């Protein structure tokens, strides 16, 4: 059965029941010199492997799948370099040493299927570590559902974010992996800068008594510019800030829109996700 994991000694993260990776090595062989002089090609430049990783798992419901994807991205957002391991359908295994996750995006399909795409970087090395084992997946998060009831609460009452459709989760952080000349490798040069999670609610706007444009404008004003609790499908995500409201341009009486919220993780940020009991 295809599986994957990330382990750096401090944290061990499973990458789903179906995981696969595509490596793209790149060597720094070109040295730019002074203006007017020819560039120099160095055959012994360092090398970095760009790793595109897919992590997928079927969960209990939409809220459970969104929470699984969120926890995966949040854990990788603060993890130091470690071993990335992936096994295919035939049981063949591959590992990459000192890999670090720099970006990821996750979305739920079919109300239960979590699909997360990750970007790792690792040094080119002569030998990779032995394959370990993937940890057990998290149990179903209690209180989650497929209600698609996304809302934002700044403390004065929850503001419903239209007719909910789903959520897209993205992670981005800075953790340079610098090539090492003459070593045919690279070195992670952290510590990592603060990571950012973007939680994008996809929904529909269908006002009952006001102009569509007025409805969307009022919605953004009600959410406000400060930190809010973003909730949906039984999960609550703390300290989120509305970055943008992006409606599809139309002259119909209803439209789809995306509400983008930012949440900072790591670097002393106190934020996370909790389940709402009884949802």
- Phi/psi of residue 95, each to 5°? -135, 155
Sign for the CA dihedral angle at 54, 266, 260, 64 comes to positive
* Digitized pLDDT (tens) for each residue of the chain, 279 residues in all: 789 999 999 999 999 999 999 998 876 666 555 666 666 666 655 678 889 999 999 999 999 999 999 999 999 998 989 999 999 999 999 999 999 999 999 999 999 999 999 999 888 877 899 999 999 999 999 999 999 999 999 988 999 999 999 999 999 887 666 665 555 555 555 655 568 899 999 999 999 899 999 999 999 999 999 999 999 999 999 999 999 999 999 999 999 999 999 998 853 333 356 654 433
- 33 lies in some domain: no
For 170-192, the pLDDT digits (tens) are 998 876 666 655 555 555 556 55
Residue 134 resides in a domain? no
CA pair distance 31, 43, nearest whole angstrom:
11
Residue 139 lies inside a defined structural domain of this protein: no
Tokens standing for residue 223: 């959410």
Domain limits for position 100? 3-27+45-124+145-267
Residue positions counted in the chain: 279
Tell me if 136 is assigned to some domain.
no
Half-sphere exposure (Cβ direction) of 77: Cα atoms closer than 13 Å: 27
152 found inside a domain:
yes
Residue 276 lies in a domain: no
pTM here is: 0.88
DSSP calls for 91-114: S-EEEEEEEEEEEEEEEEETTTEE
In the chain, how many domains are there? 1
C-alpha distance from residue 64 to each of 187, 266, 274 (Å):
36, 23, 11
Answer whether residue 272 is part of any domain. Answer: no
Q: Looking at the domain assignment, is residue 81 inside a domain?
A: yes
């Amino acid at each position: 059965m295809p599986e994957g994991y990330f382990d750096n000694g401090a944290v061990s993260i499973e990458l789903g029941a179906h995981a696969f990776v595509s490596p793209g090595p790149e060597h720094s062989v070109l040295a730019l010199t002074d203006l007017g002089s020819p560039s120099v090609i160095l055959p012994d430049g360092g090398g970095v492997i760009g790793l595109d990783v897919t992590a997928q798992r079927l969960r209990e419901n939409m809220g459970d799948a969104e929470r699984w994807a969120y926890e995966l991205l949040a854990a990788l957002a603060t993890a130091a370099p470690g071993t990335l391991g992936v096994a295919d359908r035939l049981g063949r295994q591959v590992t990459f040493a000192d890999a670090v996750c720099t970006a990821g995006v996750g979305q739920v399909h079919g109300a239960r299927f979590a699909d997360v795409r990750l970007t790792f970087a690792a040094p080119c090395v002569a030998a990779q570590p032995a394959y370990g084992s993937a940890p057990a997946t998290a149990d179903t998060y209690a209180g989650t559902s497929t209600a698609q009831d996304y809302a934002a609460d700044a403390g004065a009452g929850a503001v419903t974010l239209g007719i909910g459709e789903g959520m897209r989760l993205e992670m981005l952080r800075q953790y340079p992996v610098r090539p090492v000349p003459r070593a045919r490798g690279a070195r992670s040069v952290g510590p990592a800068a603060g990571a950012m999670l973007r939680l994008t609610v996809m929904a529909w706007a269908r006002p009952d008594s006001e102009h569509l444009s007025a409805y969307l404008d009022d919605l953004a004003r009600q959410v406000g510019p400060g930190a809010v609790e973003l909730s949906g499908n039984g999960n609550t995500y703390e300290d989120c800030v509305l970055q943008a409201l992006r409606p599809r341009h139309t002259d119909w009486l209803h439209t789809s829109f995306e509400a983008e919220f930012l949440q900072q993780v790591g670097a002393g940020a106190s934020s996370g996700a909790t389940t709402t009991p009884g949802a």
